Every structure is written in structure tokens, then in C-alpha cells.
């Protein structure tokens, strides 16, 4: 279990000496700073620790998102909370100038198809994937998807031998800009578009 950091007793959360509009903007900037500094999504409870008691974190985030509309980055909602991410329109620019090798997903078309099958059919076993694709899915591919933080081991299947199943992770949702699995495109539409 991750322990919450100790509260900073010097942090004036209420900012009562500021006029309401300035207080709101200061709270927005605090949330932006936390999201900017965090490598992972930040839950509501953590953001609530940097604003006044009773401040509406969701409204602060909505105002901050509106404030960032002309910026190259945006706030993204994930299952765990929120994070700042670069807008997709700037992906080529970043790849051309920045060292993002460790952040880039190394997926070919088949890897992506296996990942999609796991997302749509989870929890799914390797045998389940074999039934979907008509061929054995290598342990190496499963290992790479796991190492990239896109899938994890799910519950054991109730079948004979209790094989492990695979499920997608928070990293999968974040990598593909999804808040939850409900945001996955309709498989029929993907098939019509030639993706699946």
C-alpha cells in the first residue's frame, strides 16, 4: 500500500488572504504544478491536499483544462485520476527533437491486435488468444506487453490447470488516452475500418 506523503504544515491551503478569483487561479496553478511534476496520474484525494477545504477539484480541473486549450499539452482523465500529456498533434515534433526512446511504445500491427484482443476479451488466457488468432501467441510477445506496462496477470482461469489470464492496465488506458475500458471503440466499427 502506498503511503500518502506527510502534509506540509507550512502550506496555506485556504489562501483566505486572496480575493476569490485570485484564490481560484492559485488553486488551479497548484493542481497544474502537481500534474506537471507527477510521472503518473494523480488521484482526486492527492489534489485535494493542495487546495482549500471544500474546493471542487473537478471544477478546478475543468477550468484548468479550458485554460490550456491553446497549449501543446492537455489534462487527461484516467481511471486513477488526472495527468498532463502532450497533445497528439505534437508527437512528431517531440520525436524529432527529444529523447523519448524509453517512453515510446514498440508495437507492430500484430502486437497491437493482440493487445486489442486482451482489452476486449479480458480476462483472457493464452489459449483464448490462440482461439481468437488461430495460432499460438508467443510468451515473448506477452512478456514485452507486460514489460511495457500495458498488460498484467489477471485472475487464474477456472479451467483445468488454472491457467493465468491477462488483463490490461492503467498504463494501457493512459497510453491510448482512455479513461476506462468503456471508452474502447466499438469492435464492429474497428472491423469496418480495417483495423481489426
Among residues of the chain, what percentage have pLDDT more than 70?
A: 89
The pLDDT of residue 23 is above 80: yes
According to DSSP, the β-strands at 82-86 and 151-153 are unpaired
Q: Which residue has the higher pLDDT, 119 or 5?
A: 119
Q: Is residue 8 part of a domain?
A: no
* 133 and 90 in a common domain: no
Distance of CA 101 to the CA centre of its chain: 19
Q: Which distant-in-sequence residues (6+ apart) come within 8 Å of 170 by Cβ? A: 41, 78, 79, 80
Number of domains in the chain: 2
Handedness of CA 107, 112, 113, 119 (dihedral sign): positive
The pLDDT of residue 1 is above 50: no
Q: Is residue 78 part of a domain?
A: yes
* 184 and 113 in a common domain: yes
User: What digits encode the pLDDT tens for the residues 120-168?
Assistant: 999 999 999 999 999 999 999 999 999 988 999 999 888 888 888 999 9
CA separation for the pair 132, 120 (Å, rounded)? 11
CATH code for the domain of 130: 1.10.10.10
What's the pLDDT score for residue 131?
92
CA separation for the pair 78, 172 (Å, rounded)? 10
pTM above 0.85, yes or no: no
Phi, psi of 56 (to 5 degrees): -85, 100
Q: Is residue 144 part of a domain?
A: yes
Mean pLDDT of 78-90: 86
Residues spanned by the domain of 141: 109-192
Confidence of residue 3 (pLDDT cuts 50, 70, 90): low
Q: Is residue 6 part of a domain?
A: no
Confidence of residue 20 (pLDDT cuts 50, 70, 90): very high
Strand partners, 153: 166
Confidence of residue 56 (pLDDT cuts 50, 70, 90): very high
The pLDDT of residue 24 is above 70: yes
Q: Is residue 102 part of a domain?
A: no
What's the pLDDT score for residue 152?
93
Cis peptide before 123, with omega less than 30 degrees from 0? yes
Q: Is residue 172 part of a domain?
A: yes
Confidence of residue 100 (pLDDT cuts 50, 70, 90): low
User: What digits encode the pLDDT tens for the residues 60-82?
Assistant: 999 999 999 999 999 988 878 99
> Among 47, 68, 97, where does a domain finish?
97
User: What digits encode the pLDDT tens for the residues 38-50?
Assistant: 988 899 999 999 9
User: How many angstroms separate the first and last alpha carbons of the chain?
Assistant: 38
CA separation for the pair 40, 167 (Å, rounded)? 19
Q: Is residue 4 part of a domain?
A: no
Amino acid at each position: 500500500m502506498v503511503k500518502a506523503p506527510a502534509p506540509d504544515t507550512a502550506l496555506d491551503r485556504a489562501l483566505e488572504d486572496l480575493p476569490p478569483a485570485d484564490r481560484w487561479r492559485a488553486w488551479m496553478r497548484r493542481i497544474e504544478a502537481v500534474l506537471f511534476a507527477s510521472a503518473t496520474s494523480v488521484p482526486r484525494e492527492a489534489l485535494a491536499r493542495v487546495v482549500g477545504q471544500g474546493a471542487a477539484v473537478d471544477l478546478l480541473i475543468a477550468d484548468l483544462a479550458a485554460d490550456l486549450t491553446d497549449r501543446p499539452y492537455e489534462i487527461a482523465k484516467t481511471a486513477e485520476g488526472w495527468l498532463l500529456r502532450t497533445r497528439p498533434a505534437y508527437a512528431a515534433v517531440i520525436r524529432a527533437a527529444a529523447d523519448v526512446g524509453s517512453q515510446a511504445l514498440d508495437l507492430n500491427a500484430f502486437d497491437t491486435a493482440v493487445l486489442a484482443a486482451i482489452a476486449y476479451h479480458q480476462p483472457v488466457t493464452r489459449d483464448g488468444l490462440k482461439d481468437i488468432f488461430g495460432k499460438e501467441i508467443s510468451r515473448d510477445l506477452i512478456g514485452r506487453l507486460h514489460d511495457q506496462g500495458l498488460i498484467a496477470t489477471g485472475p487464474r482461469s477456472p479451467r483445468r490447470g488454472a491457467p493465468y489470464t491477462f488483463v490490461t492496465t492503467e498504463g494501457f488506458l493512459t497510453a491510448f488516452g482512455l479513461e476506462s475500458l468503456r471508452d474502447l471503440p466499438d469492435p464492429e466499427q474497428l472491423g469496418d475500418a480495417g483495423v481489426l
